[in-house]
Amino acid sequence: MKSNEIRAMGLLELKEKMSELYKELMKDNAQVATGTVPKNPDKLRRAKKTIAQMKTIMHERATQKISARNKEAGQASLAKSQMKKEFVKKA
């Protein structure tokens, strides 16, 4: 799955797709553990990579929300500190 496709997904879609990939990965890992050769060995690698991409994108989204909140809070606190400085100067 390409990162553009992953970025286009919503949070619920990401979580659902990730759980599907985890299930597939567990099945394939079980096959490897029992000694049978998987039909497509590259499938394991792609599943792991896709899960990692999904986690990264989810983390990016979460940090963007937090940084946006901090910027808003920082601007508000900056405005308050500037008002305090002006008040002190007037007195």
- Round to whole Å and give the CA distance between 29 and 13: 24
Residues sharing a CB contact under 8 Å with residue 6, sequence separation 6 or more, in sequence order: 14, 50, 53, 54, 57
pLDDT, tens digit, for every residue of 21-74?
999 999 999 988 998 887 888 999 999 999 999 999 999 988 888 777 777 777
H helix runs in 1-91, sequence order: 3-8, 11-34, 42-90
Q: How many domains does the chain have?
A: 1
pLDDT band at 87 (very low <50, low <70, confident <90, very high): low
Domain carrying residue 14: 3-90
**Burial (0-12, 13-18, 19+ Cβ within 10 Å), 71:** exposed
pTM over 0.75: no
The torsion of the CA quartet 28, 29, 32, 34, rounded to 10 degrees, works out to: -110
The whole-number pLDDT of residue 69 equals: 76
Give the domain CATH number at 43: 1.10.287.310
